[in-house]
């Protein structure tokens, strides 16, 4: 089974450097163009199913990719972005963003989703789809935050704990294969 993963297209909050977890932000003009480019890049790829985050920016991206394909889309809350809680809408430079993404530090917050809880949510999703769709080639349309535990699920957590280097850019595509 093979998985293709893409991050949603650009939003205004991406441009402003604001973190957008559960905030339901739409794509901006560039984000729509990025999704259209991704649709072209995936034209020749066999895709049996799209599993998408229920947040607008991911749904818009999936709809653009799927515009001429008619691939079934399933929305799954387990691949919605990490809940930034008290940091939602704050610029990344205005809080310890690196610490927030440190698996080793495993910081606890008042409202924001703990990193190990977040990883567990994504790992459980990946375990489940491995068995539910073992004969399918799946496109996951999600978020930058989701790209980090997906990478770690297949490749392990980097020893240097620098998880931010694993973050997919808007509409970047990654491929993973279950062994």
Q: Is 143 a catalytic residue?
A: no
Choice among 2, 8, 45, 169 that is catalytic: 8
127-174 pLDDT, tens digit per residue, is 999 999 999 999 999 999 999 999 999 999 999 999 999 999 999 999
- The total of structural domains in the chain comes to 1
Mean per-residue pLDDT, 99-119: 96
Do the Cβ atoms of 7 and 170 come closer than 8 Å?
yes
Q: Is 81 a catalytic residue?
A: yes
In a domain, 15, yes or no: yes
Choice among 37, 81, 88, 132 that is catalytic: 81
In a domain, 30, yes or no: yes
In a domain, 132, yes or no: yes
For residue 58, the model assigns a pLDDT of 98
Pairing of strands 49-52, 73-75: parallel
For residue 89, the model assigns a pLDDT of 96
Mean per-residue pLDDT, 107-134: 96
Pairing of strands 137-142, 49-52: parallel
Q: What is the 3-state secondary structure (H, E, C) of the chain?
A: CEEEEEECCCEHHHHHCECCCCCCCCECHHHHHHHHHHHHHCCCCCCCEEEECCCHHHHHHHHHHCCCCCCCEEECHHHCCCCCHHHCCCEHHHCCHHHHCCCCCCCCCCCCCCHHHHHHHHHHHHHHHHHHCCCCEEEEEECHHHHHHHHHHHHCCCCCCCHHHHCCCCCCEEEEECC
45-59 pLDDT, tens digit per residue, is 999 999 999 999 999
Q: Could you tell me the CATH number of the domain that includes residue 45?
A: 3.40.50.1240
**Nearest in space to 58 (alpha carbons), one of 82, 27, 88:** 27
In a domain, 122, yes or no: yes
Is residue 124 predicted with pLDDT exceeding 90? yes
For residue 7, the model assigns a pLDDT of 98
Is residue 179 predicted with pLDDT exceeding 90? no
In a domain, 63, yes or no: yes
Range of the domain at 132: 7-177
Mean pLDDT for the chain overall: 96
Q: Is the pTM of this model over 0.75?
A: yes
Is residue 123 predicted with pLDDT exceeding 90? yes
In a domain, 61, yes or no: yes
In a domain, 2, yes or no: no
In a domain, 1, yes or no: no
Mean per-residue pLDDT, 31-53: 97
């Amino acid at each position: 089974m093979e998985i293709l993963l893409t991050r949603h297209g650009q939003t205004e909050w991406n441009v402003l450097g604001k973190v957008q977890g559960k905030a339901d932000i739409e794509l901006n003009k560039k984000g729509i163009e990025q999704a259209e480019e991704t649709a072209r890049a995936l034209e020749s790829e066999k895709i049996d199913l799209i599993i998408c985050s229920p947040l607008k920016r991911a749904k818009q991206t999936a709809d653009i990719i799927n515009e001429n394909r008619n691939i079934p889309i399933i929305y799954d809350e387990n691949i919605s972005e990490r809940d930034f809680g008290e940091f939602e809408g704050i610029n990344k430079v205005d809080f310890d963003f690196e610490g927030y993404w440190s698996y080793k530090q495993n910081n606890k917050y008042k409202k924001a989703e703990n990193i190990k809880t977040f990883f567990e949510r994504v790992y459980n999703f990946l375990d489940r789809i491995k068995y539910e769709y073992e004969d399918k080639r799946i496109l996951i349309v999600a978020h930058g935050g989701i790209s980090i535990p997906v990478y770690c699920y297949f490749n392990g957590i980097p020893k240097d704990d620098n998880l931010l280097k694993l973050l997919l850019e808007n509409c970047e595509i990654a491929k993973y294969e279950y062994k």
